[in-house]
Chain A
Amino acid sequence: MTGLGVWLGRGFLTLLFLFFYLPIASVIFYSFNASALASEWTGFSLHWYAKLLDDHELLDACRISLVLAMATACSSVLVGAWIGYVLATYRRFVGSGLFSAMVNAPLVLPEVISGISLLLLFVSLEQSLGWPQGRGMATMWIGHTMLCISYVAITVQARLASMDRSLTEAARDLGAAPLRVFFDITLPLIAPSLFAGWVLSFTISLDDVIMSAFLSGPDTTTLPLVLLSRMRLGLNPEINAVGTLIIAVVSTGVVGNSWYLMHRERAQARLLAQAAQARSPRAAQIPVSA
């Protein structure tokens, strides 16, 4: 590429990242603003953070959201990994087309649709079976799990597809039962994708508005629902403080996670190289080309 092209490219990417990060920066900036007007900078203050500690509506919602996100992350990993395993292991079975369509559709399906349809399911179930009684944590838990399992399933499926199949075949040949092969060989190998799926499900659940709006009960208002109702009423500087806290936690998590994965991969590559050298003394003499 010519010199001009390189500079145009850099300029474009700079503008793009400004577009991505300016709103985030403005939330952080105004969360430390002393003024209640939120547009006039009148000095540095932790006033809005202090106010959060007395805001019981917000704190309760925060607690509900965290519990729900934990539960959702665990159940989504369990169900999602199972689905991903089925997709990767048994490629063709009766109804496999429908099965994979039911996994892929939620990736794009507008949430208003899945929210309304799950709500109607729960209402019908309550009429015919007497469960669930009203809406609350249980219904939101199932709804959020349905939002997350497709992402987990696809991550796990991709990981399994890239895995060396001879490992599980060798274990089977040596007489291990399918369940044992799964727990001793497959599970440790897909562990990083399970962890990634857990984190992703946790953040999806913590962030969800629409599914929660349809499936929450009177005493189970989640944090995003409280935030949305306050945003509808107008600007509330406390939201900037909550936003800053969410941004801090999530970005630390994401950056830390990818740093950890990168180092883990390097360490694994080093261990494999060492193992290869230890096994064949001759290999140690051959320079390893990187």
Chain B
Amino acid sequence: MTGPTPSTWRFPGLPGGRTWAIAIPFVFLLVFFMLPFLLVLKISFAQSAMHVPPYTALLQYQDQQLSFLLSLESYITIFSDDIYFSAYASSVKVAFFTTLVCLVVGYPAAWLIASARPGLRELLLMGVVLPFWTSYLVRIYAWVGILKDQGLANRLLLWSGVTDTPVQLMHNTTGLYMGMVYSYLPYMVLPLYAFLVKMDRSLPEAARDLGAQPWEVFFTVTLPLSLPGITAGCLLVFIPSVGEYVIPELLGSASDLMIGRVMWSDFFNSIAWPLAAAATGVMVALLLVPMVWFQRVQSRTGAVA
């Protein structure tokens, strides 16, 4: 290939290669990521209608009159109907406790893996990543097989004599959290591991040599040094958990109504698109602060790489 030399690269009157290189993916992202959000906002102010698509246009031209109608109906429904409030509240609650359990289990796991000897370390890390690559749906389904009334867990409980009747382990809070923690734990372990393995091990050692107790070393040296990893891991678990659909659907109960399920049923079962769009808008607003936080952590540290 005999490419043009740098001086002939720029055509007169046209922007240079750099501009094109940036503009093309920029426009792609604007069209397929930003524009859809604006449309969600637009449709959330429309009214439901019995035609295709099932919502009214905001701008209407009828009888030589151009009218612009913003309907607040969907937002009023969301803020007055208890179903929405309790769904948002229970989604945030479930996401919060899932994050907490993942942190409590994931931190020691990441620390132990990061402290293993080099060859073993990679093997253990792959052990954490591998389930994360295999079908998410099949793994959730596996939990159904384990937690149902005649499932593996109940057989074990009956056999060991802990109970003499099967315990209900799914379609309730236990099943929901089991599935949530199981699916999201790798998202916590991986960024924590990345920060703990990079950490200068001589610092906690120095603190020990200077006479600090192990717990003092942990709280004053190790924990502050791994703080960006904790933040990244918590946000990576919390934000997507709020909108989780499949796990509450297959393992949760009807009373643990999460907002993802409500939006899904508004969309597919009641065909209430403006309502689903407004619920999406409120959810984005709810997640805006954690998302901006994640953006700052990610652009500063590259936690996900």
Binding site for B on A (CB under 8 A): 9, 12-13, 16-17, 19-24, 26-27, 30, 37-40, 79, 82-83, 85-86, 89-90, 93, 95, 99-114, 116-118, 120-121, 123-124, 127, 142, 146, 154-155, 157-158, 161, 172, 175-180, 183, 203, 206-207, 209-210, 213-214, 224, 227-228, 231-232, 235, 239-240, 242-243, 246-247, 250-251, 254-255, 258, 262
Contact = CB atoms under 8 A, between A and B. Distances in A.
Contact of A90 (B22, B182, B242, B246): B22
Contacts of B299: 100, 104
29 contacts: A13-B109, A13-B124, A26-B146, A27-B138, A39-B151, A95-B26, A107-B298, A108-B239, A110-B287, A112-B280, A116-B276, A116-B280, A117-B36, A120-B40, A154-B304, A158-B305, A175-B6, A209-B245, A209-B246, A213-B268, A227-B138, A227-B141, A235-B148, A240-B145, A243-B135, A247-B135, A250-B134, A255-B126, A258-B122
A203 B1 contact: no
A214 B155 CA distance: 38
A254 B40 contact: no
Contact of A108 (B26, B240, B280): B240
A176 B33 CA distance: 35
Interface string B272-305: 0100110010011001001100110011001011
Interface string B213-249: 0000000000000000000000110011011111001
A262 B138 CA distance: 29
B269 interface: no
Given A24-B139, A108-B235, A250-B134, A121 B6 contact: no
A124 B239 CA distance: 28
Contact of B9 (A161, A178, A239): A178
Interface string B35-67: 111011001000000000100000000000000
A154 B302 contact: yes
Interface string B118-145: 0000101011111101111111011111
A39 B131 contact: no
Interface stretch (B72-80, B157-165, B259-267): B259-267
Given A23-B143, A108-B291, A99 B26 contact: yes
B236 A108 contact: yes
B203 interface: no
Most chain B CB within 10 A, of A27, A37, A38, A176, is at A27
Contact of A210 (B3, B28, B246): B246
B243 A175 contact: no
Nearest to A181: B3
B86 to A, nearest CB: 18
Given A102-B29, A104-B298, A113-B243, A27 B145 contact: yes
B171 to A, nearest CB: 12
Contact of A110 (B30, B128, B133, B240): B240
Interface string B162-182: 000000000000000000001
Interface of B: 1, 3-6, 9, 17-18, 21-22, 24-26, 28-30, 32-37, 39-40, 43, 53, 105, 108-109, 112-113, 122, 124, 126-131, 133-139, 141-146, 148, 150-152, 155, 182, 185, 235-236, 239-240, 242-246, 249-250, 260, 263-264, 267-268, 273, 276-277, 280, 283-284, 287, 290-291, 294-295, 298-299, 302, 304-305
Contacts of A118: 32, 36
A124 B142 CA distance: 39
A228 B247 CA distance: 11
B182 A23 contact: yes
A250 B141 contact: no
A258 B126 contact: yes
The prevalent SS among residues of B at the interface is: helix
Nearest to B302: A158
B134 A23 contact: no
B144 A86 contact: no
Contacts of B24: 82
Contact of B142 (A26, A113, A213, A232): A26
Given A104-B299, A120-B40, A146-B32, A19 B141 contact: no
A135 to B, nearest CB: 12
A172 B290 CA distance: 42
A113 B280 contact: yes
A254 B112 contact: no
B109 to A, nearest CB: 5
Contacts of B6: 172, 175, 177-178
B54 to A, nearest CB: 10
Contacts of B136: 207, 209
A23 B142 contact: yes
Contacts of A83: 25, 29
